[in-house]
Amino acid sequence: MLANCHFDSVANSPGASDDAVSCSVLLEALHSMSNLSTPLQHAVIFLFNGAEENILQASHGFITQHPWAKLVRAFINLEAAGVGGKEIVFQTGPENPWLVQAYVRAVKHPFASVVGQEVFQSGIIPSDTDFRIYRDFGNIPVFLTAVYDMM
């Protein structure tokens, strides 16, 4: 599994929610997993990439050039929009319902919406996420969560 976030931010932004908060979450997950007494059944690759705000260069470089990319069977991307709020699943593929089912089983209060997917597909927001790169260039089942605040 690939767990991904980006550490860069848009120009003139401190990048606290987009996407430093996700980097913190992945670092804590990595810390917790490294202290497990029982080894995991499958490998987890933690990717902290840059150039997400600059045409998704790092994720593209990883999925098209890194030898570990061939080992990835599923991908979780942590992202943010706004300054905080509730964690939501807002992009995933219909061809991989097992990812959503695993999320529903694992999360105490799962929350998802198709609005994010619709917004990105419509082009209303001239933006993109690593989701598209891994889906399109890696043909990997993708699951995107984001912290959002529409206020």
Residue pair 75/144 in contact (Cβ under 8 Å)? The answer is no
Active site residues: 52
> Dihedral (C-alpha) 74, 108, 7, 132: value to the nearest 10 degrees?
40
**Residue 52 amino acid letter:** E
Tokens for 66?
């890194």
DSSP string, 102-121: HHHHH-SS--B-SHHHHHHH
